[in-house]
Structure 1
């Protein structure tokens, strides 16, 4: 790779146990009236009330919207912004998982610019700065606290849709591993697997010619110098911590590594982007109503198999990051080992291995392939060129649980 890198990230990233205590002063520097987007469960937690008290003690008025719904339907956004407008917030805080933080992003957008949220779907559609954002994750998965995208569920569309713009990146991300201690094993597994797929797809994304125009032509520019460093670090951290965090949620070292890994994966894919596993998951998720992290993790080994010929060196590096011994093994052997390690890790934490296990009907595989093609920001990022036939090969393998020959 030539020495070319782009990094898009928050102005401030605060990481560490107890750092949720930085929220009050962080918010005070940005405004005096904060809208908080969270969900009903988190809104009742004692630590959440302590964070609200911290805000008020620092002179920041607070309105809490605690009815965020997973997968973020548009009705949630409409209800949140309608309730917030009379309050007149001058900053927005997202506390929770990806849906809570994504709601904070699009609420900041709509409270600033108004209009129809559908006019902002796609890349670079946000016309100007939005209200300042602070994001506080309570799961180790989506990386939304540092990324330029928010994903919503639009009932008029078969799949989830995204608003992608560097203007949606939070001003401040506060990442406190203590907030993940109560995350149950199943959610820990799903969200951590999501983070690992972010890192793998960022590290193996298409590498585009390094023109001066590139960062202005694509929100997700593909593989680059900075995203590679973040991605490999994320893979190392998640591979060693995810099974431990699932098995024992009180393992503080594992929780810390997992949150740092998810954050690093967010910094990687927030610039490089993701690819085929995410594109295929959108129609699979819409059809089966299964969690996003489950779908991308299930698909990841099959997508890696398909891309192996174009990514042997990257897969070899992934294998080493996951614990393989480099000496004495060829790049081909290490690449195969990487795919096997990813597959075994997901099996160890209890995730399904085939689309059939998600009750995907055998007669809908063509529909999945055709609809996956509509996610062009993901399709164009895959290291091997994709068409419907190529997607169908991946989907067939994932349905039957069968290996395939790589495409390159």
Structure 2
């Protein structure tokens, strides 16, 4: 077996480590792209440590960032001559920051890169990523999920130029995450860990990381949702490790189907993962039986994958997440769009080939 591993230039994990951010940034102006609730913390904790460097703070990025938000942040970075970009928040803020840092030296609109009319040839300006949720793993990965509202297409900018120079994971930033966000983002991370472990492109390193990530998250997500601090630390670390795993292994059909489904029905990505994961695992059971046995034994001390799937289903219920997409209005008229747009790299990594009719049957089951 041959495989390659790539990660951000530096990964720092630990409580209160965010306070090191300013000293780790290069000289020159800084663009902060942040979630709304993070603006005051950046102003109070980070800006005073910048040593007088100029900066701009954008804190109103939409969930599943549309191309227009990236264009606006890119214009701000050019206006101040940003030497570094900091993504501070959930996946939307971090993905926008990745896009800005990578595209800042390049010509043309964001849409050119989104639709692969132009390539991202290399690294842009210095990028630091600071997550405030435990789930997306965007601080680790070389892709940025964006949305074109005009077409409804949700897909990724990809390339090694999107790796962060610094991933700074401070679990204290997740402590005030609302329960619903903790549940959804945590299920995203759990799904990433499990899909990475059973991926066709899994390797010994990704499997080791994915296994430990799944252990962290499955055992700690419910108490983290209830507000236990140590559990939040474990989930944050598990999310980081899951991203390190799938950055080399890829994911699977949950993410392949979840992206277009979430886009057309405006379902939060973590909720898509929570609904889809048990169903997709059942579909994958025959093709990935040995891996799921190993995972079940490690996570539950019982090698029967059916019991692991049942435990995941129970966890979803405990966290008050939906079991289907009925409340979001999933209907047959949506199926063609989802089928047409689910053939991503994630689907290619799924251990079982799913035909278009298979995908439709999965959607029918969850409608």
TM-score bin, normalised by smaller chain = over 0.9
Post-superposition shift, 1:168? 0.4
- Mark the CA change 1:321 to 1:350 in structure 2 (over 3 Å): closer, same or farther: farther
Instruction: Indicate the SS of the match to 2:138.
Output: coil
1:354-393 alignment, distance < 5 Å: 354-361=324-331, 363-364=332-333, 366-373=335-342, 375-393=343-361
1:137 maps to: 131
Tell me, in whole angstroms, the C-alpha distance in 1 between the residues paired with 2:220 and 2:337: 33
Which of residues 109, 112, 122 in structure 1 aligns to 2:105? Answer: 112
Post-superposition shift, 1:307? 0.7
Tell me, in whole angstroms, the C-alpha distance in 1 between the residues paired with 2:135 and 2:288: 24
1:304 maps to: 281
Instruction: Indicate the SS of the match to 2:155.
Output: strand
Instruction: Indicate the SS of the match to 2:220.
Output: helix
* 187-196 or 338-347, larger mean C-alpha shift: 338-347
TM-score, normalised via structure 1 length: 0.85
Post-superposition shift, 1:122? 6.9
Which of residues 170, 176, 180 in structure 2 aligns to 1:182? Answer: 176
Tell me, in whole angstroms, the C-alpha distance in 1 between the residues paired with 2:250 and 2:150: 25
- Identify unmatched segments of 5+ residues in structure 2: none
Post-superposition shift, 1:393? 2.4
1:336 maps to: 306
Tell me, in whole angstroms, the C-alpha distance in 2 between the residues paired with 1:149 and 1:158: 19
- Could you give the per-residue CA deviations for residues 36-60 of structure 1, whole angstroms, max 9, x where no partner exists? 1113321123x65211222x23x54
Q: Is the 8 A contact 1:71 1:152 kept in 2?
A: yes
Which of residues 20, 30, 41 in structure 1 aligns to 2:37? Answer: 41
- Identify unmatched segments of 5+ residues in structure 1: 207-221, 400-408
- Could you give the per-residue CA deviations for residues 271-313 of structure 1, whole angstroms, max 9, x where no partner exists? 2111211121123212321201101221011111111011112
Which of residues 86, 91, 94 in structure 1 aligns to 2:84? Answer: 91
Tell me, in whole angstroms, the C-alpha distance in 1 between the residues paired with 2:243 and 2:160: 13
Tell me, in whole angstroms, the C-alpha distance in 2 between the residues paired with 1:77 and 1:224: 34
Instruction: Indicate the SS of the match to 1:310.
Output: coil
1:71 maps to: 64
Q: Does residue 258 of the first structure (1) align with residue 227 of the second (2)?
A: no
Tell me, in whole angstroms, the C-alpha distance in 1 between the residues paired with 2:69 and 2:34: 11
Which of residues 203, 209, 226 in structure 1 aligns to 2:205? Answer: 226
Q: Is the 8 A contact 2:217 2:239 kept in 1?
A: yes
Post-superposition shift, 1:146? 0.5
Q: Is the 8 A contact 1:6 1:226 kept in 2?
A: no
TM-score, normalised via structure 2 length: 0.95
2:190 maps to: 196
Instruction: Indicate the SS of the match to 2:32.
Output: strand
Tell me, in whole angstroms, the C-alpha distance in 1 between the residues paired with 2:256 and 2:96: 21
Instruction: Indicate the SS of the match to 1:79.
Output: helix
Q: Is the 8 A contact 1:313 1:335 kept in 2?
A: no
Instruction: Indicate the SS of the match to 1:112.
Output: coil
Tell me, in whole angstroms, the C-alpha distance in 1 between the residues paired with 2:296 and 2:190: 13
- Mark the CA change 1:314 to 1:103 in structure 2 (over 3 Å): closer, same or farther: same
Post-superposition shift, 1:155? 1.9
Instruction: Indicate the SS of the match to 1:174.
Output: strand
Tell me, in whole angstroms, the C-alpha distance in 2 between the residues paired with 1:368 and 1:316: 34
Q: Is the 8 A contact 1:196 1:262 kept in 2?
A: yes
1:17 maps to: 15
Instruction: Indicate the SS of the match to 2:206.
Output: helix
Tell me, in whole angstroms, the C-alpha distance in 2 between the residues paired with 1:302 and 1:125: 36
- Mark the CA change 1:9 to 1:122 in structure 2 (over 3 Å): closer, same or farther: farther
1:395 maps to: 363
Q: Is the 8 A contact 2:71 2:109 kept in 1?
A: no
Post-superposition shift, 1:315? 1.1
Tell me, in whole angstroms, the C-alpha distance in 1 between the residues paired with 2:10 and 2:166: 5
Post-superposition shift, 1:164? 1.1
Tell me, in whole angstroms, the C-alpha distance in 2 between the residues paired with 1:320 and 1:52: 48
Cα RMSD (Å) of the superposition?
Answer: 1.8
